[in-house]
């Protein structure tokens, strides 16, 4: 209990500290060398491709994300769309088992909902031509309504090759799941990675975990495709037991874990015959992603600081 409280406090402190421009400058300059490479598969597409290939060769599916979020101009968002087209083309050319996961604020959602809709819609059309799939990540709570609205619009416009994410720390997510079921949605379930106030998100980990199980079980029973994205072995085993008990086919769900986190567990799940996808981001704009990974586990920060001290 004391550890849990300490973890929650250090998580909040790291996420708050991440906003410091000085820290951003320092980590941005030295971070790859100090340990960011554990979580980020390189800064360029050429560095990413061999990492994806190696994961695929181990029986792991992959997705990739060009890191970045919160763009502030339509031109910038347009450049992100162009970069993702290149990523999708390269995935196809290299015959990788890799799909794509985007953040809508990277495609302009913080500027204008219609802009983000048009950008993601263009990407989905491009991906469909290549037989690929694009998931929309879930970001901070003010973007949940717009992200879910865009997901529904895309599906109603006939885009089948897309899915989104629900975060179990948000009180609203069980209602959101209920409201999406008519679409037979492809949903990823996560605990949630951002700093959210107690009026929108459960402050206690036990409540977040319990909500995670309720969401996953309802999605498995009534939904379309369920991606169970956690490194929490207890929740993974609970999912497996539930799926076996309810006779849910293994092609209706998959486990998703992050590149650099619990690699042995990833391979063990493959060995047991489950579909496992490793989320493998890349790109030079990795600072915020890294800070969220450090916040999730104080030991990661320690590892980073030790590298700093060693020089």
Ligand X SMILES: Cc1cc2nc3c(=O)[nH]c(=O)nc-3n(C[C@H](O)[C@H](O)[C@H](O)COP(=O)(O)OP(=O)(O)OC[C@H]3O[C@@H](n4cnc5c(N)ncnc54)[C@H](O)[C@@H]3O)c2cc1C
Contact between 191 and ligand X per CB under 6 A: yes
Binding mask 104-143 for ligand X (x = CB under 6 A): ---------------------------------xx-----
Bridge partners of 188, per DSSP, are 165, 227
Of the two residues 89 and 225, which places its CB atom closer to ligand X in the complex?
A: 225
Active site residue 188: yes
Backbone angles phi, psi at 164, to 5 degrees: -140, -160
Whether the Cβ atoms of residue 268 and residue 18 lie closer than 8 Å to each other? no
Assess 261 for contact with ligand X (CB under 6 A): yes
| Catalytic residue list contains 137 | yes
Give the nearer residue to ligand X in terms of CB position, either 43 or 232.
Answer: 232
Q: Does 291 bind ligand X (CB under 6 A)?
A: no
If one asks whether residue 49 binds ligand X (CB under 6 A), the answer comes out as no
Q: Are the C-beta atoms of 64 and 282 separated by less than 8 Å?
A: yes
293 binds ligand X (CB under 6 A): yes
Alpha carbon 130 to its chain's center = 22
Q: Is 211 in the site for ligand X (CB under 6 A)?
A: no
276 in contact with ligand X (CB under 6 A): no
Determine which one of 11, 135, 155, 188 is catalytic: 188
If residue 11 lies in a helix (H) or strand (E), which one and from where to where? helix 2-17
Minimum distance of ligand X from residue 75's CB (angstroms): 25
Q: % helix / strand / coil in the chain, to the nearest 5?
A: 60, 15, 30
Q: How far is the CB of 131 from ligand X (least distance, A)?
A: 21
Question: Does 230 sit near ligand X (CB under 6 A)?
Answer: yes
- Listed in order, strand segments (DSSP E) in the chain are 61-64, 98-102, 134-136, 162-167, 186-190, 225-229, 253-258, 276-279
What is the token pair recorded at 156?
A: 């109603």
Residue 211 CB, nearest approach to ligand X (Å): 12
Q: Does 147 help bind ligand X (rule: CB under 6 A)? A: no
Ranges within 150-169 binding ligand X (CB under 6 A): 165, 167
HEC-encoded secondary structure of 56-110: HHCCCEEEECECCCCCCCHHHHHHHHHHHHHHHHHHHHCCCCEEEEECHHHHCCC
What residues are annotated to the active site?
137, 188
Binding site for ligand X (CB under 6 A): 137-138, 165, 167, 190-194, 229-232, 256-258, 261-262, 279, 293, 296-297, 300
């Amino acid at each position: 209990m004391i550890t849990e409280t300490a973890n929650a406090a250090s998580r909040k402190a790291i996420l708050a500290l991440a906003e410091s421009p000085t820290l951003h400058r320092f980590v941005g300059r030295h971070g790859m060398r100090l340990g960011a490479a554990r979580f980020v598969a390189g800064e360029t597409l050429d560095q990413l491709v061999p990492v994806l290939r190696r994961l695929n060769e181990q029986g792991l599916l992959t997705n990739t994300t060009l890191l970045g979020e919160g763009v502030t101009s339509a031109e910038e968002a347009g450049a992100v769309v162009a970069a993702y087209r290149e990523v999708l083309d390269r995935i196809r050319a290299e015959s990788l088992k890799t799909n794509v996961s985007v953040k809508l604020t990277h495609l302009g959602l913080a500027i204008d909902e219609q802009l983000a809709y048009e950008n993601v819609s263009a990407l989905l059309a491009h991906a469909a031509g290549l037989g690929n799939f694009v998931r929309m990540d879930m970001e901070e709570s003010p973007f949940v309504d717009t992200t879910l609205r865009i997901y529904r619009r895309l599906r109603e416009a006939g885009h089948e090759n897309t899915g989104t994410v629900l975060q179990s720390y948000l009180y609203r997510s069980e209602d959101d799941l209920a409201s999406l079921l008519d679409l037979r949605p492809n949903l990823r379930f996560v605990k949630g990675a951002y700093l959210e106030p107690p009026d929108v998100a459960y402050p206690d980990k036990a409540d977040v975990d319990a909500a995670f199980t309720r969401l996953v079980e309802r999605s498995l029973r009534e939904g379309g495709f369920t991606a169970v994205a956690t490194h929490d072995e207890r929740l993974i085993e609970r999912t497996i037991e539930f799926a076996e008990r309810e006779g849910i086919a293994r092609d209706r769900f998959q486990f998703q874990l992050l590149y650099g986190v619990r690699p042995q567990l990833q391979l063990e799940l493959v060995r047991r015959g489950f579909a496992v996808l490793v989320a493998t981001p890349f790109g030079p704009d990795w600072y915020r992603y890294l800070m969220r990974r450090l916040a999730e586990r104080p030991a990661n920060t320690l590892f980073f600081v030790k590298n700093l001290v060693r020089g």
